[in-house]
């Protein structure tokens, strides 16, 4: 499931090089692989629920890479990957909040024009709750992204904040598009608006760059460690001065 592999002139490959390191995260090393290469087989582009969007299945067998193509030191692969994934995950989040905002704009627009059961939808409490929940989630998403970006910009440890932002924004995106579809009624289910397409596309957000449950597992581990080490969860919850 390697995105854009067919368009790439080189790949960054993380390969297991250490058999039994003291730190399990020091088992892989990063390599640059010039493409195409013998031993690197781009088998197929995988069809997804959102069509064929350029994600390749790759088989790597007997690939030889010169030592000069090693990235960093032996055993640093995981660290390099995590470092790159910080800003990369936030870049995804920024695209997702734009999608969520479009979905909320559309939700409100539709609620103002659709007349049903004696009033426009915008005047109905059930619809207002969907608008309110979506607005609060969009606001939370933006704040989480800004805080994680602040940590990256200031050279602070950002792993946890990026992880929490990535998980939250990916899930908020799905919920907001889903509510927008609900407010549109059958029109939302049709392909007359972009919402159906956006909904299908948004599902990938909960897998790529770390599936939900893996982020939750790590977030919980950090929270438990913070409590064990400091008697408080504060440092794990953004370490904010409030
Ligand atoms: C559109 C798209 C693009 C992608 N692009 C890339 C790419 O460019 N490069 C790349 O390297 N990867 C890419 N991926 C792969 C992505 O990183 C993986 O799909 C993701 O890490 C999950 O791994 P998996 O699919 O093997 O799921 P699995 O590891 O099989 O997990 C299946 C489910 O079980 C859950 N699970 C696993 N372990 C646990 C646990 N310990 N506790 C609880 N639940 C658990 C997972 O969260 C998941 O929901 C892409 C995926 C998608 C959908």
Number of domains in the chain: 2
Of the residues 71, 97, 127, the one at which a domain ends: 71
Non-local (6+) Cβ contacts of 109 within 8 A are: none
Let me know whether 219 and 110 are in one domain: yes
* CATH classification of the domain holding 30: 2.40.110.10
State residue 36's pLDDT score.
Answer: 95
Evaluate whether ipTM surpasses 0.90: yes
Ligand 1 neighbourhood includes 166 CB (under 6 angstroms): no
Whole-angstrom CA distances from 213 to 86, 170, 200, 220, 234 are 18, 12, 20, 10, 22
Q: Angle CA(145)–CA(132)–CA(166) in degrees, nearest 5?
A: 25
In a domain, 242, yes or no: no
State residue 82's pLDDT score.
Answer: 85
Residue nearest to atom 35 of ligand 1 (CA): 213
Whole-angstrom CA distances from 79 to 11, 26, 84, 96, 145 are 17, 8, 9, 26, 22
- Find the domain containing 174 and state its range: 77-237
Q: How far apart are CA 21 and CA 76, in angstroms?
A: 12
State residue 185's pLDDT score.
Answer: 98
Query: Ligand 1 centroid to 206 CA: how many Å?
Result: 9
Let me know whether 192 and 95 are in one domain: yes
Q: Which helix (H) or strand (E) covers residue 1, if one does? A: none
Let me know whether 216 and 161 are in one domain: yes
Let me know whether 196 and 95 are in one domain: yes
Q: How far apart are CA 110 and CA 81, in angstroms?
A: 43
Q: How far apart are CA 154 and CA 136, in angstroms?
A: 27
Let me know whether 56 and 138 are in one domain: no
Of the residues 71, 104, 131, the one at which a domain ends: 71
DSSP string, 4-68: TGGG-SEEEEEEE--SS-SSGGGSEEEEEEESS-TTEEEEEEEEETTEEEEEEEEEE-S----GG
Of the residues 71, 98, 121, the one at which a domain ends: 71
> Which is the closest atom of ligand 1 to the Cα of 210?
21
Let me know whether 93 and 203 are in one domain: yes
Let me know whether 90 and 65 are in one domain: no
Let me know whether 216 and 192 are in one domain: yes
* CATH classification of the domain holding 197: 1.20.140.10
State residue 53's pLDDT score.
Answer: 78
Nearest to 201 by CA among 111, 102, 133, 107: 102
Query: Ligand 1 centroid to 121 CA: how many Å?
Result: 39
pLDDT tens, per residue, the chain with 242 residues = 999 999 999 999 999 999 999 998 999 999 999 999 999 999 999 999 998 779 999 999 999 999 999 999 999 999 998 888 889 999 999 999 999 999 999 999 999 999 999 999 999 999 999 999 999 999 999 999 999 999 999 999 999 999 999 999 999 999 999 999 999 999 999 999 999 999 999 999 999 999 999 999 999 999 999 999 999 999 999 999 99
Q: How far apart are CA 38 and CA 40, in angstroms?
A: 6
Ligand 1 probe mutation, 24, 82, 209, 214, most atoms within 8 A of CB: 214
Let me know whether 15 and 100 are in one domain: no
Specify the pairing of strand 70-71 against strand 10-16.
Answer: unpaired
């Amino acid at each position: 499931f390697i995105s854009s592999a067919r368009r790439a002139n080189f790949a960054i490959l993380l390969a297991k090089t250490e058999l039994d390191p003291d730190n399990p995260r020091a088992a892989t090393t990063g390599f640059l692989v010039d493409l195409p290469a013998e031993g690197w087989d781009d088998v197929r582009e995988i069809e997804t629920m959102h069509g064929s969007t350029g994600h390749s299945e790759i088989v790597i067998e007997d690939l030889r890479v010169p030592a000069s193509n090693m990235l960093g030191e032996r055993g640093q692969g995981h660290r390099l990957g995590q470092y790159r994934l910080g800003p990369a995950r936030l870049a995804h989040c920024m695209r997702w909040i734009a999608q969520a905002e479009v979905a909320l704009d559309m939700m409100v627009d539709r609620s103002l024009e659709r007349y049903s059961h004696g009033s426009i939808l915008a005047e109905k409490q059930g619809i207002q709750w969907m608008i309110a929940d979506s607005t609060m989630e969009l606001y939370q998403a933006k704040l989480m992204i800004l805080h994680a970006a602040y940590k990256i910009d200031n050279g602070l440890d950002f792993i946890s904040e990026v992880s929490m932002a990535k998980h939250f924004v990916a899930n908020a995106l799905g919920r907001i598009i889903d509510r927008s579809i609900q407010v549109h009624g059958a029109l939302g289910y049709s392909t007359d608006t972009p919402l159906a397409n956006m909904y299908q596309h948004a599902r990938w957000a909960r897998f790529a760059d770390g599936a939900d449950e893996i982020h939750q597992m790590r977030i919980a581990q950090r929270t438990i460690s913070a409590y064990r080490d400091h008697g408080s969860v504060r440092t794990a919850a953004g370490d904010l001065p409030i």
